[in-house]
Amino acid sequence: MTDFFAGIPQIRYEGEGSSNEFAFRHYNPDEVILGKRMEDHLRFAVAWWHSFAWPGGDPFGGQTFQRPWFGDTLELAKLKADVAFEMFDILGAPFFCFHDADIRPEGATFAENKRNLEEIVDHIGTRMESSKTKLLWGTANLFTHRRFMSGAATNPDPDVFAWSAATVKTCMDATKKLGGANYVLWGGREGYETLLNTDLGREAENAGRFLQMVVDYKHKIGFQGAILIEPKPQEPSKHQYDYDVATVYGFLKRFGLENEVKLNVEQGHAILAGHSFEHELALAASLGILGSIDMNRNDYQSGWDTDQFPNNHPEMALAYYEVLRAGGFTTGGTNFDAKLRRQSLDPEDLILAHVGGMDTCARALKAAARLWEDGALERARADRYAGWETPEAKAMLGSSLDEIEARVLAEGLNPEPRSGRQERLENLWNRFV
């Protein structure tokens, strides 16, 4: 045991009336909602990078956090893992997520990176033997190091492509070894800053081939989890190739991967793309590619991804309603891709940020589940499209423009608009939230 979280009790559910800040008011893992335990609905995960690797900097100032595990040795990486599992146990977190660079020190060569990763994965595996916490997903950091400044899979240098592909292989091996439920790819530098030095066609073809290799390797090693792509616009590249759900789906279709790859959709990224979180979730579900979510929030007064912990349960309820409509998570879950504010220095802050986020999500899930169980919103939706269930409407979709014109003339069709009833449905929603 380390002493980093000394004096902080295990967080337990005490109900809405509790005044204990080190307790859950809404998140009751064993509460059954729509026939499933709350823990199994939400499938919370802690993000290793923000919780244990982020130093607390911003574009105008450097490190504010002083953590005893900060450094570039395997001994400190193991200490970081020990602290992480102590936090998982305090929270009762069912999952965690990691990038390779979060858990291992950076080596001077690829071979050293691989050795470091394998050693720390063995250490994490040992810690998992005595913990309930499992791996939701692993991924490779192909964006921080200067070698990736022009991309990874889309880099103009084939040696960077090779380094990136080899790194993903080691991370997929690590994820499989730790029993991960998914493997995620986030193209943080897969984009461009200027067309003056960019070959869009070549970069797209290379990115498509890269992903095909990932899928091929998944099947080769017998990895049973899902391969996920995480869309994000603008940041850090001016033009990101994985801008939003629709863009990524078009990419998957182009390379014949729409049945092999799903999406990890993040709230903050949806906002940066000019969408709502629920829009991106609903679209992904309608396309059959909703896999998992990163839960956070953005500061709507800032133009970048602030990665704050969620605290707006009505907003999150809209998101979880779409998750419920899609049938819930299978291999995916709710990962807190959220970080403390750089002034929040204390160990208690790290625990309480997750407590608040988990409670917010639980409250949102309960509201969404009540409305889903009531059925009024779905009945209103079905009523609005009821005309399309008639034999005539279905037959029309199989006819031609000539035939449709003839019918309109013969029947003297002159349709009047019908109310969309938006405000009535908003009032209905607010009754449950």
Counting Cβ atoms within 10 Å, is residue 130 exposed (0-12), middle (13-18) or buried (19+)? exposed
Structure tokens, 265: 């959709």
How far is the C-alpha of 267 from the C-alpha of 388, rounded, in Å? 33
Cα-only R_g, the chain: 24
- The one catalytic residue in 102, 305, 337, 359 is 102
Strands 261-266 and 290-294: parallel
How does DSSP assign 297-341, residue by residue? B--TTSSS---BPP--HHHHHHHHHHHHHTT--SS--EEE-----
* Alpha carbon distance 363, 259 (integer Å): 33
Return d(Cα 163, Cα 148) in angstroms, integer: 10
Residue with tokens 């209905």: 428
Which two structure tokens, joined as six digits, stand for 163?
Answer: 């380094």
Tokens of 87: 């936090």
**Rounded Cα–Cα distance for residues 47 and 351 (Å):** 13
Distance CA 271, CA 233 (A): 9
Angle between helices 422-432 and 347-374 (to 10 degrees): 120
Token pair for residue 28? 């009751």
Q: Are strands 95-99 and 134-139 parallel, antiparallel or unpaired?
A: parallel
State the DSSP code for 8.
Answer: P
Neighbour count for residue 104 (Cβ, 10 Å): 26
99 is catalytic: yes
3-class SS of residue 133:
coil
CA-to-CA distance for 248 and 251, rounded, in angstroms?
Answer: 5
Phi, then psi, of 239 in degrees rounded to 5 = -120, 100
Q: Which of 41, 99, 275, 313 is catalytic?
A: 99
Q: How far apart are CA 44 and CA 293, in angstroms?
A: 10
Distance CA 293, CA 41 (A): 12
Active site members: 99, 102
